[in-house]
């Protein structure tokens, strides 16, 4: 197949990511290129700190597999790329073509919901959960399933939308907003992860809050038209000094203060959180946790009726 035919195959697909397949072959994304590039740069900066060499990797909600292929390129021993393609506007055609063009060995599971991950019966060294949780109806259910794919030492990385415009611990749940149905405050996201026995070890915001600019104090009222002012003005005028007259006048009409700072940007940001699996007494749960998470907590593991995983 020649280059033009291959490019035609690429162009027949609706891509989420941009790919450079080499030899001039490119996939272009269909929406908000600049916004997405900023997010992909943010993700890549953080993934750069992970050593993928020899690791087993699970990529959840991988879409066309960009980060799965990235992990493979960085030396992962195996990568399982999963998605539930009923949940996006494209299909799995992109990831299969990308796999072919990149001559990749990534394993693809195109009908794997995050809500059923524990059925895999597998654990991984690195779990990528990038750009997914804020689309979900039940992010906590998803985090619990991810916890069941961890073994000691697993690194879980979670990336998505967050806000710092809510009271501490608050979340914004907008059922009709498919682009961000669930937008947590940063503390709430930490709490949810902890509640799933995933302990946050570091987090960063793409757009951290800007500290408010201090207010400019109003000028002190002065006795500008008192006899000293009149004398200064008269002296300057007699000397024929225009700058002197201007300086005296400026005390009467001080230069306008600078305009107030622009309204703060929307308190939304992308957030990147790295986590490690927690085994032990979890302070978030005074009572037995749901979704089989009790097996990670010695206080509940051996309760009657508890089947340890």
Ligand X SMILES: C[S@@+](CC[C@H](N)C(=O)[O-])C[C@H]1O[C@@H](n2cnc3c(N)ncnc32)[C@H](O)[C@@H]1O
**Number of chain residues interacting with ligand X (CB under 6 A):** 18
87 binds ligand X (CB under 6 A): yes
Q: Between 242-252 and 227-238, two packed helices, what is the crossing angle to 10 degrees?
A: 160
Identify the CA nearest to 96 among candidates 25, 10, 31, 7: 10
At closest approach, how far in Å is the CB of 58 from ligand X? 11
Q: Binding of ligand X at residue 149 (CB under 6 A)? A: no
**Among residues 129, 102, 169, 64, which one has the least CA distance to residue 271?**
129
Rounded CA gap, 89 and 136, in Å? Answer: 15
Burial class (CB in 10 A: 0-12, 13-18, 19+), 117: buried
**114 touches ligand X by CB under 6 A:** yes
Instruction: List phi, psi (to 5°) of 172.
Output: -110, 120
Among 13, 57, 108, 130, which residue interacts with ligand X (rule: CB under 6 A)?
A: 130
Nearest-CB residue for ligand X: 61
Binding part of the chain for ligand X, among 1-9, 78-86, 186-194, 220-228 by CB under 6 A, reads 78-86
| Binds ligand X (CB under 6 A): choice among 63, 69, 291, 296 | 63
CB-wise, 83 or 125, nearer to ligand X? Answer: 83
φ, ψ of residue 242 to 5 degrees: the values are -65, -45
| Angle at CA of residue 106, ends 101 and 107, nearest 5° | 125
Among 84, 204, 268, 276, binds ligand X (CB under 6 A): 84
Q: Cβ 89 to ligand X, closest distance in Å? A: 9
| Residue number with CB closer to ligand X (63 or 69) | 63
Q: Report, in Å, the least distance between residue 94 CB and ligand X.
A: 10
In angstroms, give the least distance from the CB of 77 to ligand X.
21
The residues, any chain, with a CB within 8 Å of residue 48's CB and separated by 6 or more, are none
88 binds ligand X (CB under 6 A): yes
Task: Kindly state whether residue 135 participates in binding ligand X, applying the rule CB under 6 A.
Answer: yes
Lookup result for tokens 């009790």: 294
User: Taking the complex as a whole, how short is the minimal distance between the CB of residue 25 and ligand X, in angstroms?
Assistant: 20
User: 131, 139, 184, 185: which one contacts ligand X (CB under 6 A)?
Assistant: 131
CB of 12 to ligand X, least distance (A): 19
Give me the least distance between CB of 283 and ligand X, in Å please: 29
132 binds ligand X, rule: CB under 6 A = yes
Could you give the CA distance from residue 272 to residue 156 in angstroms, rounded to a whole number?
Answer: 11
Residue closer to ligand X (CB basis): 270 or 294: 270
Q: Is residue 113 part of the contact set for ligand X (CB under 6 A)?
A: yes
Q: Which is nearer to ligand X, 98 or 248 (CB)?
A: 98
User: What are the E-state strand segments in the chain?
Assistant: 19-22, 25-27, 56-60, 78-82, 107-109, 124-130, 150-163, 171-173, 182-184, 198-205, 268-277
- Position 139 contacts ligand X (CB under 6 A): no
DSSP 75-115: T-SEEEEE-BGGGSSS-THHHHHHHHHTT---EEETB--GG
H-helix or E-strand containing 247? helix 242-252
Where along the sequence are the contacts to ligand X (CB under 6 A)? 61-63, 66-67, 83-85, 87-88, 113-115, 130-132, 135-136
């Amino acid at each position: 197949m020649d280059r033009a035919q291959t490019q035609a195959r690429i162009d027949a697909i609706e891509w989420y990511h941009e790919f450079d397949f080499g030899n001039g072959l490119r996939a272009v994304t269909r929406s908000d290129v600049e916004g997405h590039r900023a997010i992909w740069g943010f993700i890549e900066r953080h993934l750069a700190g992970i050593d993928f060499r020899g690791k087993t990797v699970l990529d959840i909600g991988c879409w066309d597999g960009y980060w799965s292929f990235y992990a493979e390129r960085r030396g992962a021993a195996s990568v399982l790329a999963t998605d539930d393609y009923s949940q996006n506007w494209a299909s799995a055609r992109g990831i299969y073509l990308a796999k072919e063009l990149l001559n990749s060995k990534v394993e693809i599971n195109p009908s794997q919901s995050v809500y059923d991950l524990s059925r895999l019966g597998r654990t991984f060294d690195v779990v990528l959960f990038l750009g997914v949780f804020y689309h979900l109806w039940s992010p906590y259910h998803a985090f619990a399933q991810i916890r069941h794919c961890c073994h000691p030492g697993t690194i879980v990385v979670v990336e998505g939308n967050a806000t710092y415009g809510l009271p501490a611990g608050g979340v914004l749940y907008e059922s009709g907003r498919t682009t961000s149905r669930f937008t947590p405050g940063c503390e709430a996201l930490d709490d949810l992860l902890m509640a799933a026995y995933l302990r946050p070890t570091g987090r960063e915001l793409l757009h951290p809050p800007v500290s408010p600019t201090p207010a400019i104090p109003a000028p002190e009222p002065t006795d500008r038209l008192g006899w000293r002012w009149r004398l200064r003005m008269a002296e300057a005028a007699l000397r024929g000094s225009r700058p002197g007259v201007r300086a005296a006048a400026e005390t009467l009409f001080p230069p306008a203060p600078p305009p107030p700072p622009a309204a703060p940007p929307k308190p939304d940001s992308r957030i990147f959180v790295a986590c490690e699996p927690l085994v032990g007494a979890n302070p978030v749960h005074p009572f037995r946790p749901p979704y089989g998470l009790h097996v990670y907590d010695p206080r509940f593991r051996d309760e009657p009726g508890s089947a340890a995983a």
